[in-house]
Amino acid sequence: MINSVHISDSSIYGSAWTTPELRALFNEPARIKGWLDVMTVLAETQAEFGMIPKLAAVQIREAVQTLQIDDTFLKKIGEHYAVSNHSLLGLISAVKARCQPLAGEWLCYGATVQDITDTHTMRVLKTVRQSFIEQLNNIKHCLIALAKKHQNTVMAGRTHGQIGLPITFGYKAAVWLDELHRHEQRLLELAERMDVVQLAGGVGSLSSLGQKPLALQAAFAKALDLKPPVISWTSSRDRYAEWLNVLAMLCATADKIGHEIYNSQRPEIAELSEGFTTGTVGSITMPQKRNPEISEHLGTLARLVRHHAAFMMENLVGDHERDGRSWKGEWLILPESCLATAKALQLLQTVLQDLQVHEQTMLNNLERTQGFIFAETVMLALAQRLGKQSAHSLVYELAMLAQVQNQSFQEILATDARIQSLLTKNELQQLCGLENCIGACADMVDQLIASINLPES
């Protein structure tokens, strides 16, 4: 798009900020068409209830179906908005000019801007939610494959950035899988609270919707494949706040995974790395570099969505029955957050399906610890004879001494009389084996995968 201002609309960089599918849902022609679809269904529902002439509803649909939402049409709406400063009047006027006289008079009868825009937004978010669930299923397939393949691939488990105890990479991938699975459950649970229309009138009382407003509202909702709310929600923006916070959590998990890959790709760790595509350039000054670009960008996208989730929390506070400061901000942050989340999920799938796992380096990094990763196992064995606190004190003393003397953990154990009196050489050898230190990592992988009912990809 020439002369685009927003980065997601950039002809050059736009692909880094969203996917074509999501852009098509949120671009301006799609938004205007969505509003007109809602207005058309409203007119048809009102005609069924005798609120407006049936011919008017027929003519409104005919006009909307033949309407070309082109640059000329959009420009006319924009010019009207610049004068009236009203969000919907320009569109109503532009459509009226292209309708039969009768139809134009009954367009958007008894409805407010929020009735049209909130209902349209809920329809779009329903589609977006299903798209995200499909993307998550693809990602979960990638993680299940990684978890199974590396169920017994031993690597360092780290706390506070330092090597602690051995785990398996399959276990790590399964933890990611479990977290994303919970986010999918949250998206599914949102349907009950989100898939509702907004048809409330000026202050939420439905006073402008005839003699049977609740029945009309229910019929309107059914025609749009949504549900009627139990009460008007013009001043209650918690549905959108919940949606955005779920997206923020979803993107934060993607960021967490990306951050793990980003750090693990550092040459001094070198346990994981992004798949390499020929032609990818890491630096224009350092030709040798292979940067974790995808993992890094996951963090950028997640920051944007977290910021918008915080913005949305501000919108929960509004004045009285309606407050433009709240819902107008949503026009910016809801689309941007959905666009960024779609791209984050796409990138996450890409990085996981092409992920390079360097098993030998994982083992090498464990060996570099000089056996200190076995300290817990030895301590727990000693605890059976000394008690836990005394065993901890003894192992701590020996571990610190070994590091000062530049000895391995096994060397210090083999030369300490107290250890020799408590554990045989064979027992020590068994305690210092990787197979005895990974706990239930492999079993938990099986347990998690068995608990997830995943459709075929």
Residue-wise DSSP of 166-203: EEEHHHHHHHHHHHHHHHHHHHHHHHHHHSB-----SS
Q: Classify residue 262 by its DSSP letter.
A: H
The pair of structure tokens assigned to 244 is 């955005």
d(CA 108, CA 376): 71
Tokens of 180: 């994303």
Q: What is the dihedral of CA 347, 353, 356, 358, to 10 degrees?
A: 120
Q: For 158, how many CA atoms within 13 A lie in the half-sphere containing its CB?
A: 16
- Number of other residues whose CB lies within 10 A of the CB of residue 401: 12
Task: Let me know if 203 is exposed, middle or buried by CB neighbors in 10 A (0-12, 13-18, 19+).
Answer: middle
92 and 174 inside one domain: no
Q: Is the same domain home to 174 and 312? A: yes
Q: Are residues 140 and 258 in the same domain?
A: yes
Using a 10 angstrom Cβ sphere, with 0-12 exposed, 13-18 middle and 19 or more buried, the burial of residue 234 is: buried
Residue 302 to residue 29: CA distance in whole angstroms:
27
Give CA angle at 19 (16, 23), nearest 5°. Answer: 110
Q: Going by DSSP bridges, is the β-strand pair 162-168/154-159 parallel, antiparallel, or unpaired?
A: antiparallel
Domain count, the chain: 3
Per the domain annotation, does 256 fall within a domain?
A: yes
Last residue of a domain, one of 365, 389, 410: 365
- Specify if 420 maps to a domain: yes
Task: Tell whether 222 is covered by a domain.
Answer: yes
Q: What is the CATH number of the domain that holds 411?
A: 1.10.40.30
Residues 160 and 285 occupy one common structural domain: yes
- The answer to whether residue 85 sits within a structural domain is yes
Going from the C-alpha of 427 to that of each of 344, 413, 432, 436, the distances in angstroms are 49, 12, 9, 12
Give the three-state DSSP class for 214: helix
Give the span between the Cα atoms of 131 and 342, in whole angstroms.
8
Per-residue pLDDT of the chain (457 residues; tens, 9 = 90+): 555 678 888 888 889 999 999 999 999 999 999 999 999 999 999 999 999 999 999 999 999 999 999 888 899 899 998 899 888 999 989 888 888 888 889 999 999 999 999 999 999 999 999 999 999 999 999 999 999 999 999 999 999 999 999 999 999 999 999 999 999 999 999 999 999 999 999 999 999 999 999 999 999 999 999 999 999 999 999 999 999 999 999 999 999 999 999 999 999 999 999 997 665 655 555 555 578 899 999 999 999 999 999 999 999 998 999 888 888 899 999 999 999 999 999 999 999 999 999 999 999 999 999 999 999 999 999 999 999 999 999 999 999 999 999 999 999 999 999 999 999 999 999 998 888 889 999 999 999 999 997 766 5
pLDDT confidence of residue 288? 58
d(CA 414, CA 394): 14
320-337 CB burial, b ≥16 within 10 A, e <16: eebeeebbebbeebbbbb
pLDDT value at residue 287: 56
**pTM metric for this prediction:** 0.93
> Does residue 439 belong to any structural domain of this protein?
no
For 432, phi and psi rounded to 5 degrees? -100, 35
* 409 shares a domain with 307: no
Based on the domain organization, do 42 and 159 belong to the same domain?
Answer: no
Q: How far apart are CA 365 and CA 387, in angstroms?
A: 31
CA nearest to 120, candidates 219, 34, 190: 34
Q: Are 127 and 250 in a shared domain? A: yes
Pick from 170, 204, 105, 163: nearest CA to 359: 170
Other CB atoms within 10 Å distance of the CB of residue 118:
24
Measure the CA–CA gap between 7 and 18, rounded to whole angstroms: 10
Cα(336)–Cα(6) distance, rounded to whole angstroms? 10
Q: Are 34 and 120 in contact (CB under 8 A)?
A: yes
Domain boundary among 77, 106, 135: 106
The verdict on 350 and 403 lying in the same domain is no
Please compute Rg for the chain using Cα positions.
30
H or E element at residue 157? strand 154-159
Report if residue 449 sits inside a domain: no
199 in Cβ contact with 193 (< 8 Å): no
- 212 within domain boundaries: yes
Centroid of chain to Cα 244: 9
Mean pLDDT across the chain, nearest whole number?
A: 93
- The answer to the question of residue 330 being in a domain is yes
Q: Which domain holds residue 390?
A: 372-431
Q: Which residues are catalytic?
A: 160, 283
